[in-house]
Structure 1
């Protein structure tokens, strides 16, 4: 900083305070000044100029700015010039330029936000177990997802979860188990007819043998004897009675039509199902007390899921061996052993706002089962009453399978295993009405069924397009009803030469979400 003075004799000092008198730079943000005063030393006579340092600290920032200035001046000057006769201080000023050495900075990209694989999904404490499971599986599958799956991950929200849950998958096992038990019913019905027609006549609900005057004879023969007066004489005296005798070898054909439906639950998708089945069999009376036979059954089930969410068609082929042994005192034991093959074709429709696609798949399975029945027959004139107990067991397996299509939401399903064990306590009654052309037998039946096994299951699954080890979840099935009831009515017709036909209707009661109706037609042709 420079200052001027005019002195008459040599040697003096001048001091003053430095202050900022102007400029474009801003104190604090652009600079700061160390020290607030300066001292100038003057030597010699006459006009002189002197300089003194002023320390200015420049603030180094990253802003790109034009050259800025600082104007400095001295105020409150004072001198120390002993012996000088004339001292005239001049002005002390300085202009400081601040030059910017910064270049235009390269923009720093913003820090990436944490990856959110499902931006529209959020955990809800009100989720059902299946919603919670699919939420976890989907968020896992969406981590690192690409292609169609990534598109789905970016659009799915909480309201769409129910459309994605494969809660109809449980219907495969249910259809197989139900088919097995209905086939048990068909074959047991055939055994009933055999006991009725053993040696004489044929009615729908007569059973086994009865003891009359110490002689064990088939129920059919007893009924014919009881009906003798109505037919104009004793059955044994009428040569036409031979027309009602059966050959030991017999064939039968039965057809079933079943309609049922299930309401939606928190764990399973509801559906409506139509099942058609036909069973062909043959049996042989080895002796009056023992009959053995074999049967083949085919069934087809068409299932349509509620909310237009897809369909399933199932086919089943079953092979059965069966027998009945007539015990003394009109008791009997029946048994059935069966093995079945199942196939399923499934269309799972996935539909939510902005998306509609179908995942298709095919699965196979098998089933084996065993049924054991025990009962007693009571003949009261033309009536036959039969209380009985039956134990049924089946084990069904569905192989693992994988869907195709689905717009990124196709899934893989692990194998399933379903164990079912039931007891049936029931009774049936019929009345044999003799006519000139045969025997007509109306009947009724009531059963109480209790389920011991077949608990709620977890069906393991994963999203097919997810990375290895990711996207897994489990679908929980309903716990089956432990107790329900079957009520039915029937009408049987026995014709000469052992020919017979019947019609049966059955309705199921007591299941919380299921209704079921069965119609069965049958015919027997002896050889």
Structure 2
């Protein structure tokens, strides 16, 4: 998963423009083949490869020659034919799966190259022998049960016709169709709710942090990071000068890219939202309050596989107690939302499958921190515990496809712990104040009731169309690091910038860039 910058950077755009002129203009795509035991197969690997730019002639194909570094076939021999196709001869008596790599050389103005993997299934296996991902194999096993002639009385006419079409598909199209039928896009919804809750909880903690600084929380929160302005404007106000009621608000934008795995599809997502809250001071060291948060989440799946949209509304109450360097915060919240899904199936014709459902979530969070201040430095170690209980209602898909699914109820209870350190350093200048800062944390997740999602093929009245898919598991430990900078100018203008990265999160390489400003009237 990669998190894209929130704003375009001219230098990055220049690098992208240069790379277009330097790197390969050919994309080699993985291929699949199937052959009986002791029989040769010819695979036209160039059929699905993509070439751009001016081509001077036919491309060149090569396989392992002992020196190329390409992966050779382990249980057979692969050789290149004059037309660029590859002949694979399995070893005598071998039955099972074999793989090898080939490299294609573009015969064009850029002379680019690319490498792809060829998977050959030797034997009499069914549809499952074409797939490598665990969840796709689960779907393939279900299809073999549903489309077996003994099950013909239990399926709809539309599904019967779709099953008949399977026998006329090439290995490549059949593997592609099974991947499109597999509703693995649905599996990320519980993780989405967890990530949205983590961001919302952090935004409210930002307001509580300013309370501990002796400030009215309506002063400044930028992109989820609180800035104790009063400390940089001549010291915090006394408790007698503080209003009992304060308002705070944030606006946030997140962009994420998730790499595909053997269990879940790759996708890109964008979320936009805002938080507004009100705080009431019971006494100088005790505050209570509430916050309302709204988030819109948009997901686009890789290879035009479909999309997901979700609107989530949450209401959170909180309590904040602090004395000297010690602070303790507590939050309790409830969220409700809607989820709309769309899956695209393109084999043998374009089909659109849609669905809609609702989500609910309870969350409980507590954080303890201890601040150290010396000269312009402020260092604050913290420990945070979050518990969420998420439920996504069951629903049936709709559309013009024979492969419509019934999606079972999804539940998840998750406990996460974060241990971290944040720090700031205030520098005063004639034009204002510069406050660089950092935040380091290590986070551990633990899920219970995170069972596989149950599905059923709606066109089958028997239990043959029932199957389940496993989501990716939680990460036992990952890390977040952020560098930020605040510029506070005379007249009330403040600007903010930050870069954040996530490390050791499975299938994730995350980078986030934040920019913002605030103006006090």
Question: Normalization by structure 2: what TM-score?
Answer: 0.66
Describe the SS at the equivalent of 1:315.
strand
Give the Cα separation in 2 of the matches to 1:345 and 1:200: 36
Give the Cα separation in 2 of the matches to 1:489 and 1:454: 33
1:276 and 2:293 are equivalent in the alignment: no
Displacement of 1:156: 2.5
Displacement of 1:202: 7.6
Describe the SS at the equivalent of 1:448.
strand
Judge which range, 266-275 or 153-162, deviates more.
153-162
The match for 1:443 is: 437
The match for 1:106 is: none
The match for 2:310 is: 314
CA contact (8 A) 1:257 1:520 kept: no
Displacement of 1:438: 6.2
Q: List alignment gaps of at least 5 residues for structure 1.
A: 1-118, 206-218, 229-234
Deviation sequence 1:85-107 (CA, Å, 0-9, x none): xxxxxxxxxxxxxxxxxxxxxxx
CA contact (8 A) 2:207 2:217 kept: no
Alpha-carbon spacing, 1:519–1:406, altered in 2? closer, same or farther (3 Å)? farther
Alignment of 1:348-497 (within 5 A): 348-352=343-347, 354-434=348-428, 440-453=434-447, 457-492=451-486
The match for 1:150 is: 160
Displacement of 1:415: 0.3
Deviation sequence 1:130-172 (CA, Å, 0-9, x none): 2332123223333222322112111236523212111111121
Give the Cα separation in 2 of the matches to 1:200 and 1:406: 52
Instruction: Give the RMSD, CA atoms, in angstroms.
Output: 3.5
Judge which range, 308-317 or 427-436, deviates more.
427-436
Give the Cα separation in 1 of the matches to 2:494 and 2:282: 21
Describe the SS at the equivalent of 2:346.
strand
CA contact (8 A) 1:500 1:524 kept: yes
The match for 1:333 is: 328
Structure with greater contact order relative to length (CA < 8 Å, sep ≥ 6)? 1
Displacement of 1:457: 3.4
Give the Cα separation in 2 of the matches to 1:453 and 1:345: 25
Describe the SS at the equivalent of 2:475.
coil
Alignment of 1:94-243 (within 5 A): 121-124=126-129, 127-142=132-147, 143-144=151-152, 145-156=155-166, 158-159=174-175, 160-198=177-215, 223=231
Describe the SS at the equivalent of 1:408.
coil
Alpha-carbon spacing, 1:290–1:266, altered in 2? closer, same or farther (3 Å)? same
The match for 2:61 is: none
Alpha-carbon spacing, 1:297–1:448, altered in 2? closer, same or farther (3 Å)? same
Alpha-carbon spacing, 1:426–1:522, altered in 2? closer, same or farther (3 Å)? farther
The match for 2:44 is: none
Judge which range, 275-284 or 158-167, deviates more.
158-167
Displacement of 1:446: 0.8
Displacement of 1:492: 4.4
Give the Cα separation in 1 of the matches to 2:281 and 2:498: 25
Displacement of 1:200: 12
The match for 1:69 is: none
Describe the SS at the equivalent of 1:285.
strand
Describe the SS at the equivalent of 2:264.
coil
Describe the SS at the equivalent of 1:514.
coil
Q: List alignment gaps of at least 5 residues for structure 2.
A: 1-123, 168-173, 223-227
Give the Cα separation in 1 of the matches to 2:269 and 2:208: 28
Displacement of 1:475: 1.1
1:508 and 2:513 are equivalent in the alignment: no
Alpha-carbon spacing, 1:337–1:438, altered in 2? closer, same or farther (3 Å)? farther
Describe the SS at the equivalent of 2:184.
coil
CA contact (8 A) 2:408 2:455 kept: yes
Deviation sequence 1:450-506 (CA, Å, 0-9, x none): 112268631000111111434111111112222111111334467899998855553
